Amino acid sequence: MKRLLSIEFQKIWKNKASRVLLLTYFVLLSFIALIASIKFSIGTFEIRIADQGIFNFPYIWHFNTYVAAFFKIFLAIVIVSMMANEYTYGTLKQNLIDGLSKKEFILSKFLVVASFTVASTVFVFIMSLILGFSFSSYNELSIVFTDLEYLLAFFIKLFAFFSFCLFLGILVKRSAFALGFLFVWFVAENIFYWIIKFVILGGDDKHKNFGDTIIQYFPIEAMSNLVKEPITRLSAIKTIENAVGGAQTAKDYSIHFSQISIVLVWTFIFILTSYYILKKRDL
Amino acid sequence: METILKISNLHKIFNKHLHAVKNVSFEIKKGNVYGILGPNGSGKSTTLGIVLNVVNKTSGDFEWFGGKVATHDALKKVGAIIERPNFYPYMTAKENLELVCKIKGTAFSKVDEKLELVGLLERKNDKFKTYSLGMKQRLAIASALLNDPEILILDEPTNGLDPQGIRQIRDIIKAIASQGTTILLASHLLDEVEKVCSHVVVLRKGEMLYQGTVHNMIENNSFFELKSKDMVRLKTVLDEQSFVENTIEEDGKLLVYLKQDIAAQDLNSHLFEQNIVLEHLVKRKNSLEEQFLELTKN
């Protein structure tokens, strides 16, 4: 395993584009801390974001994992091009000829995916701890370590997404096309959702839940469902909402085991299909 | 003699209809230099691709080193370059070779030694993408030699090179062959094969037409060049003979190919008995090139 990782990291680190993207990713992640310094004024009120409770434990776990997940696209590009390059340079063929088995090859790529995911999770964990201890109103350990399942959800979400990227890289063999395909897939999922909801079910409110039930099984939707948007959960926003639109129905922000299983099943499918494609394909 | 690679009844069908390799069987013994000959599209690269783990066979079998180890582990003892040199363009030559060392499990100390051998030591810290085609091909050979392989497989190593490049690669191959390394060389440069190889396998449209020593391939097919006043009669008489395979008229001479060998003297007296007097009689052997073209023509 050490050997495979050392092979893969040499390939990634010596590539200038990948190196820049990797560094950019972690630098941007740490910029989440800068949200703390945002201030703006409404009339005579001066609002400082950090004082609105976004860095309060345990809410910070939810907020940071949600925001951090936006930057995953940087690593996605690294992963897709890492795989697609092996095809364009013909080095996949050469690696196999030099004595790497196809199994080892896939394994080494998934080790990279796993290390990226672990690194991101650890980074977000440490950053949240630091931010939390600096700004949170509550510092009791029991509160600090509540809701850590958001970190688990973040881990699974990233791992699934990167596996999806790797799968696309193997399937499509060209980085630009694979990233395009990712975007098309995302759009297609949404179109499919709206077709089900409005064309087939006629936009009838009675059937509203049916469309939502189906869409949650689609990979991208399932991944984004894992960590839901945290903004409306903020007490300040809730206050405004209540003032403007009366009482709101309670929204479910928690992470469900069923959602985690859907994403894990997809991850499993992506890994196995990648291996299957590589095994069957003549190079 | 130790068998390095044994291929038996290998078939490859691409996309369910393109039969690229048909029932190919041969053995590679240690210490010999083999040539695989065949026109473009004859299945040379596919056959090599199968034994090198990059193309899936349809049926048949192959085993490395007596079949005791898995293919990918066996390949760590094999050095191979296929068609064009494949390296990471953004890495230097040294880094590329170190990567191969990691895959094969060889010590990094080999890197400089092999770069020296192919004359690239001064350029080792330059990126691969700055190399000329000839240098890339030499780097590929250095990479294939990194683990001091039991067998070196070269697929069209001089393809696309200029005369100097071809010469350099040929000299390197000769140097390696003289050290006793087993070599499998796929090429359509026949004089190259004739000079370097001791054994040949000839393929056409995926079928194996010949396998054996270069010597036998040339020797077996001697033929006569004959000329007489009455060419028509000469042809009719010879066509009736049991030892004659076929006759072809070329440039006013009759080329007589034989089913079984016959001495020039015997042929001459035989024709004389038939009242044919020859003006011209030469017993010839095909060069490997002629022999190859003869074998592979449709």
More confident site: B173 or A43: B173
- Secondary structure (3-state) at B106: coil
pLDDT digits (tens, 9 = 90+) for B20-37: 899 999 999 998 899 998
- pLDDT(A241) > 70: no
What's the number of domains chain B is made of?
2
A-chain CB neighbours of B87 within 8 Å are 89, 91, 94
- pLDDT(A118) > 90: yes
B-chain CB neighbours of A280 within 8 Å are 56
Q: What is the mean pLDDT of chain B?
A: 87
* B43 and B146 housed in the same domain: yes
pLDDT of residue A246: 59
Q: Please name which of B228, B276, B274, B275 lies closest in space to residue B254, comparing C-alpha atoms.
A: B228
Give the A:B interface size as CB pairs under 8 Å: 80
Interface contact A14-B88, CB threshold 8 A: yes
Contact A255, A151 (CB under 8 A): no
- pLDDT(B150) > 70: yes
* B186 and B62 housed in the same domain: yes
Residue keyed to tokens 């179109």: A191
Q: Tell me, what amino acid is at B239?
A: D
pLDDT of residue A247: 56
Residue keyed to tokens 């395909």: A181
pLDDT of residue A203: 60
pLDDT of residue B211: 86
Secondary-structure percent of chain B, ordered helix, strand, coil, rounded to 5: 40, 30, 30
* Window from A132-136, A206-210, B142-146 with minimum mean pLDDT: A206-210
pLDDT band at residue A140 using 50, 70 and 90 as cut-offs: confident
Q: Which two tokens stand for residue B160?
A: 């696309």
pLDDT of residue B131: 93
pLDDT digits (tens, 9 = 90+) for B274-289: 888 888 888 887 777 7
Residue A180 neighbours by CB distance under 10 Å = 13
- Please give, rounded to a whole number of angstroms, the shortest distance from the CA of A195 to a CA of chain B: 37
* B185 and B225 housed in the same domain: no
Residue B217 φ/ψ, nearest 5 degrees: -65, -40
User: CA-to-CA distance for A113 and A102, rounded, in angstroms?
Assistant: 17
Interface contact B54-A97, CB threshold 8 A: yes
* B263 and B153 housed in the same domain: no
Interface contact B104-A98, CB threshold 8 A: yes
What's the number of domains chain A is made of?
1
Interface contact B53-A96, CB threshold 8 A: yes
- Decide if B14 touches A, using CB distance below 8 A: yes
* B34 and B169 housed in the same domain: yes
Interface contact A280-B56, CB threshold 8 A: yes
Residues 198-227, chain B, touching A (beta carbon < 8 A): none
pLDDT of residue A237: 67
Average pLDDT over residues A191-214: 71
- Decide if B272 touches A, using CB distance below 8 A: no
Q: Over pLDDT 70: what percentage of chain B?
A: 99
Average pLDDT over residues B42-53: 90
- pLDDT(A207) > 60: no
- Please give, rounded to a whole number of angstroms, the shortest distance from the CA of A166 to a CA of chain B: 19
Q: Please name which of A21, A26, A270, A1 lies closest in space to residue A111, comparing C-alpha atoms.
A: A1
Q: What is the 3-state secondary structure (H, E, C) of B28-66?
A: EECCCEEEEECCCCCCHHHHHHHHCCCCCCCEEEEEEHH
* B14 and B45 housed in the same domain: yes
How far CA B287 is from CA of B35, B213, B284, in Å, comes to: 15, 14, 9
pLDDT of residue A75: 94
pLDDT band at residue B262 using 50, 70 and 90 as cut-offs: confident
Name the interface residues of A facing B (CB cutoff 8 Å): 3, 6-7, 10-11, 14-16, 85, 89-91, 93-102, 104, 279-280, 282-283
* B266 and B180 housed in the same domain: no
Q: What is the 3-state secondary structure (H, E, C) of chain A?
A: CHHHHHHHHHHHHCCHHHHHHHHHHHHHHHHHHHHHHCEEEECCEEEEHHHHCCCCCCHHHHHHHHHHHHHHHHHHHHHHHHHHHHHHCCHHHHHHHCCCCHHHHHHHHHHHHHHHHHHHHHHHHHHHHHHHHHHCCCCCHHHHCCCCHHHHHHHHHHHHHHHHHHHHHHHHCCHHHHHHHHHHHHHHHHHHHHHHHHHHCCCCHHHHHHHHHHHCCCHHHHHHHHCCCCHHHCHHHHHHHHHHHCCCCCCCCCCCHHHHHHHHHHHHHHHHHHHHHHHHCCC
- pLDDT(A87) > 90: yes
- Secondary structure (3-state) at B196: helix
pLDDT digits (tens, 9 = 90+) for A164-182: 999 999 999 999 999 999 9
More confident site: A235 or B263: B263
Q: Please name which of B105, B5, B3 lies closest in space to residue B52, comparing C-alpha atoms.
A: B5
pLDDT digits (tens, 9 = 90+) for A15-26: 999 999 999 999
* B207 and B280 housed in the same domain: no
pLDDT band at residue A160 using 50, 70 and 90 as cut-offs: very high
Q: Please name which of B23, B9, B5 lies closest in space to residue B205, comparing C-alpha atoms.
A: B23
Q: What is the mean pLDDT of chain A?
A: 86
More confident site: A180 or A209: A180
User: Angle, nearest 10°, between helix axes A219-226 and A149-172?
Assistant: 160
Interface contact A101-B70, CB threshold 8 A: yes
Average pLDDT over residues A232-244: 69
User: Angle, nearest 10°, between helix axes A102-135 and A72-88?
Assistant: 160
- Residue B131: which CATH number? 3.40.50.300
pLDDT digits (tens, 9 = 90+) for B116-140: 988 899 999 999 999 998 899 899 9
Average pLDDT over residues B167-179: 85
Residue where a domain stops, chosen among B163, B191, B217: B217
pLDDT band at residue A252 using 50, 70 and 90 as cut-offs: confident
How far CA B169 is from CA of A67, A101, A224, B84, B192, in Å, comes to: 57, 29, 56, 14, 11
* Window from A77-86, A208-217, B245-254 with minimum mean pLDDT: A208-217
Residue keyed to tokens 């780097």: B139
User: Angle, nearest 10°, between helix axes B133-145 and B110-117?
Assistant: 130
- Decide if B58 touches A, using CB distance below 8 A: no
Average pLDDT over residues A191-219: 73
Return the bridge partners of B163, or none.
none
pLDDT of residue A211: 67
How far CA B261 is from CA of A168, B213, B244, in Å, comes to: 63, 18, 9
Residue B273, domain extent: 221-296
Sign of CA dihedral A101, A102, A107, A113: positive
pLDDT of residue A135: 81
State the DSSP H helix or E strand holding residue B279, giving kind and residue range, or none if neither.
strand B278-285
* B248 and B263 housed in the same domain: yes
Residue where a domain stops, chosen among B217, B234, B257: B217
Residue where a domain stops, chosen among B163, B184, B217: B217
* B192 and B287 housed in the same domain: no
* Window from A34-43, A58-67, A97-106, A120-129 with minimum mean pLDDT: A34-43
A-chain CB neighbours of B98 within 8 Å are 10
* B51 and B126 housed in the same domain: yes
pLDDT band at residue B248 using 50, 70 and 90 as cut-offs: confident
State the DSSP H helix or E strand holding residue B112, giving kind and residue range, or none if neither.
helix B110-117
Contact A109, A82 (CB under 8 A): yes
Number of residues that this document lists for chain B: 298
Contact B269, B263 (CB under 8 A): no
pLDDT of residue B212: 86
pLDDT band at residue A257 using 50, 70 and 90 as cut-offs: confident
pLDDT of residue A238: 67
* Residue in B with minimal Cα distance to A2: B102
* B131 and B240 housed in the same domain: no
- pLDDT(A53) > 90: no
Interface contact A89-B53, CB threshold 8 A: no
- pLDDT(A131) > 70: yes
Residue A94, domain extent: 2-280
User: CA-to-CA distance for A62 and A239, rounded, in angstroms?
Assistant: 19
Q: Which two tokens stand for residue A264?
A: 């894990």
Average pLDDT over residues B226-241: 86
Contact B24, B57 (CB under 8 A): no
pLDDT of residue A154: 94
Average pLDDT over residues A59-87: 91
Contact B188, B176 (CB under 8 A): no
- Decide if B20 touches A, using CB distance below 8 A: no
Contact B82, B19 (CB under 8 A): no
* ω into B163 cis (within 30 of 0): no
pLDDT of residue B167: 86
pLDDT band at residue A34 using 50, 70 and 90 as cut-offs: confident
Sign of CA dihedral B187, B191, B197, B202: positive
- Decide if B70 touches A, using CB distance below 8 A: yes
How far CA A41 is from CA of A49, A52, A54, A243, B41, in Å, comes to: 11, 13, 18, 20, 74
Interface contact A282-B49, CB threshold 8 A: yes
Q: Over pLDDT 70: what percentage of chain A?
A: 89
Average pLDDT over residues A73-84: 93
- Please give, rounded to a whole number of angstroms, the shortest distance from the CA of A8 to a CA of chain B: 9
Beta strands B182-186 and B33-37 are parallel
pLDDT of residue A249: 58
- Residue B275: which CATH number? 3.30.70
